[in-house]
């Protein structure tokens, strides 16, 4: 193979000295790029891939064959497949996730509060529909509506509700969260005497809502330093904690009446061999007072993603970017989490399938994003993203996972998981409340 390429001038030898220079230059570039991101973590996987970029540019310069550009991209896909997926090994777990939340989303959101929410709200009342009705008729109606609004947003057309009435997407985005926050406070009975812990909080909206509307004392934990600093700036007690290491922080955190994991347990299982959900629930049990409640909203995968064998291109493209652009995994529907309840002194007191709310949230989020994108300084955004790509191992996958493209409704990895097609949807989303017995 190498002889063949050499004969055809598609590959040229590289001297030892040139290799040293290449390694040095790539290292310096990556150190500078890393220091310019919010995350500031040096990634070894990104360094290996960047070395290949350097090597590919070297070959392109001498051979003029631009096919070399594919080498680093293919290397990264193979690396993810063989090392992460097959060997279930991560040199630096959650580095991609940290770049996703500290950098990618921070660049996208900027000061725009409509994009500030990382999880679904409750949209039934706002859109005059029943999001708990999973009949084919209701699901199809919502899916047709969503696809049309996604495509219309690119065409600058008016976004409408399911009765064809014009809607203000910013209002739906904000109000949908408020409805959910109220549901949480009511169903968990949060009051001024409650001690509340939110694990994996986002942009503080829920924590602020609970503090301001109930007077409860609320503490937060997150893996993202940006989020933790932001919480502290806003007067909350907050700690940088990886869900996986929760057991090391039990004494420091103390006991709680309420624990909330709102759309964050999706980042718990990260190619682990042990039963990570059981372990996590043991810690929840230790942190809860007797009679205390734990509320989670967590995506569950549905029957081996059920449509993987059909539409191979669509499904593997989406699944790959979803899995590698985020570092996580889902429990299996319906009881991937609840089956550990008894073991851990927990009793399920409420369980709802909120898949349609998550789908609607995603459509609204993309409509806001597409509208807002027109106002961005594109060059500035491109430079920031390129810089973060150099620093982060799977930034391209994160970018493809969350960025909407025109006419690519079925190739939008985040959305794909909620799209109902041929009688099947890859995931469901559950809201579950447990009580400690």
- Quick one: 307 or 391, whose CB is closer to ligand SAM? 391
Report whether the peptide linkage leading into residue 334 is cis, meaning its omega lies within 30 degrees of zero: yes
Q: What is the CA radius of gyration of the chain?
A: 23
- Quick one: 167 or 223, whose CB is closer to ligand SAM? 223
- The residue with its CB nearest to ligand SAM is 202
Site for ligand SAM in 142-201 (CB under 6 A): 200-201
Residue 119 binds ligand SAM, judged by CB under 6 A: yes
- Quick one: 118 or 340, whose CB is closer to ligand SAM? 118
Record the tokens describing residue 190, joined without a space.
């949060």
Residue 267 binds ligand SAM, judged by CB under 6 A: yes
- Quick one: 262 or 427, whose CB is closer to ligand SAM? 262
Residue 321 binds ligand SAM, judged by CB under 6 A: no
Contact code string over 238-257 relative to ligand SAM, x by CB under 6 A? ----xxx-------------
- Quick one: 328 or 334, whose CB is closer to ligand SAM? 328
- Quick one: 118 or 420, whose CB is closer to ligand SAM? 118
Residue 117 binds ligand SAM, judged by CB under 6 A: yes
- Quick one: 206 or 307, whose CB is closer to ligand SAM? 206
Task: With contacts defined by CB under 6 A, name the span among 167-175, 180-188, 236-244, 344-352 that binds ligand SAM.
Answer: 236-244
List of residues 6+ apart from 5 with CB closer than 8 A? 11
Task: With contacts defined by CB under 6 A, name the span among 218-226, 367-375, 402-410, 419-427 that binds ligand SAM.
Answer: 218-226
Residue 417 binds ligand SAM, judged by CB under 6 A: no
Residue 94 binds ligand SAM, judged by CB under 6 A: yes
Beta carbon of residue 120, minimum distance to ligand SAM (angstroms, whole number):
8
Count of residues interacting with ligand SAM (CB under 6 A): 20
Beta carbon of residue 328, minimum distance to ligand SAM (angstroms, whole number):
7
Residue 37 binds ligand SAM, judged by CB under 6 A: no
Residue of 101, 145, 150, 369 interacting with ligand SAM (CB under 6 A): 101
Residue 227 binds ligand SAM, judged by CB under 6 A: yes
Residue 431 binds ligand SAM, judged by CB under 6 A: no
Residue 118 binds ligand SAM, judged by CB under 6 A: yes
- Quick one: 1 or 274, whose CB is closer to ligand SAM? 274
Residue 427 binds ligand SAM, judged by CB under 6 A: no
Burial 38-66 (b: 16+ CB within 10 A, else e): bbebbbebbbbbbbbbbbbebbeeebeee
CA distances from 61 to 15, 57, 58, 248 (A): 15, 6, 5, 52
Cα torsion for 299, 169, 211, 98, to the nearest 10°?
A: 50
Residue 262 binds ligand SAM, judged by CB under 6 A: yes
- Check if the beta carbon of residue 239 is closer than 8 Å to that of residue 221: yes
Where do contacts with ligand SAM occur on this chain (CB under 6 A)? Answer: 94, 97, 101, 117-119, 200-202, 222-224, 227, 242-244, 262-264, 267
């Amino acid at each position: 193979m190498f002889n063949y390429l050499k004969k055809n001038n598609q590959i040229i030898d590289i001297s030892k000295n040139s290799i040293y220079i290449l390694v040095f230059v790539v290292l310096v570039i990556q150190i500078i790029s890393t220091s310019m991101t919010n995350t500031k973590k040096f990634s070894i996987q990104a360094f290996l891939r960047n070395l290949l970029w350097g090597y590919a540019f070297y070959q392109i310069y001498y051979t003029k064959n631009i096919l070399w550009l594919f080498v680093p991209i293919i290397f990264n896909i193979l690396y993810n497949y063989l090392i992460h997926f097959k060997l279930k090994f991560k040199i630096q777990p959650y580095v991609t996730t940290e770049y996703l939340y500290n950098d990618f989303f921070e660049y996208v959101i900027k000061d725009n509060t409509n994009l500030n929410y990382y999880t679904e709200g409750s949209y039934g009342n706002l859109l005059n529909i029943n999001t708990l009705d999973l009949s084919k008729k209701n699901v199809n109606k919502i899916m047709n509506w969503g696809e049309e609004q996604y495509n219309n947003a690119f065409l600058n057309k008016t976004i409408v509700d399911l009765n064809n009435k014009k809607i203000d997407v910013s209002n739906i985005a904000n109000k949908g969260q408020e409805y959910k926050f109220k549901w949480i406070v009511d169903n968990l009975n949060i009051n001024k005497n409650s001690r509340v812990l939110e694990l994996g909080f986002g942009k503080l909206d829920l924590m602020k809502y609970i503090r301001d509307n109930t007077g409860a004392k609320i503490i937060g934990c997150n893996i993202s330093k940006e989020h933790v600093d932001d919480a502290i700036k806003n007067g909350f007690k907050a700690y940088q904690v990886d869900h996986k290491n929760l057991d090391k922080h039990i004494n420091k955190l103390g006991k709680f009446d309420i624990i909330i994991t709102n759309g964050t347990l999706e980042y718990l299982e990260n190619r682990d061999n042990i039963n990570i959900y059981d372990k996590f629930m043991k810690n929840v049990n230790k942190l809860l007072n007797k009679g205390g409640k734990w509320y989670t909203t967590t995506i569950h995968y549905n029957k081996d993603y059920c449509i993987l064998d059909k539409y191979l291109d669509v499904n593997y493209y989406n699944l790959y970017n979803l899995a590698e652009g985020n570092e996580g995994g889902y429990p299996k529907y319906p009881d991937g989490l609840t089956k550990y309840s008894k073991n851990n002194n927990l009793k399920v007191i409420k369980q709802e399938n909120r898949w349609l709310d998550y789908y609607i949230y995603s459509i609204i989020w993309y409509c806001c994003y597409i509208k807002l994108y027109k106002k961005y300084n594109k060059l500035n955004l491109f430079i920031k993203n390129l810089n973060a790509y150099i620093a982060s191992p799977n930034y391209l996958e994160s970018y493809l996972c969350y960025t909407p493209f025109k006419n690519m409704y079925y190739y939008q990895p985040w959305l794909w998981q909620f799209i109902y097609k041929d009688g099947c949807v890859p995931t469901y989303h559950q809201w579950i409340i447990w009580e400690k017995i």
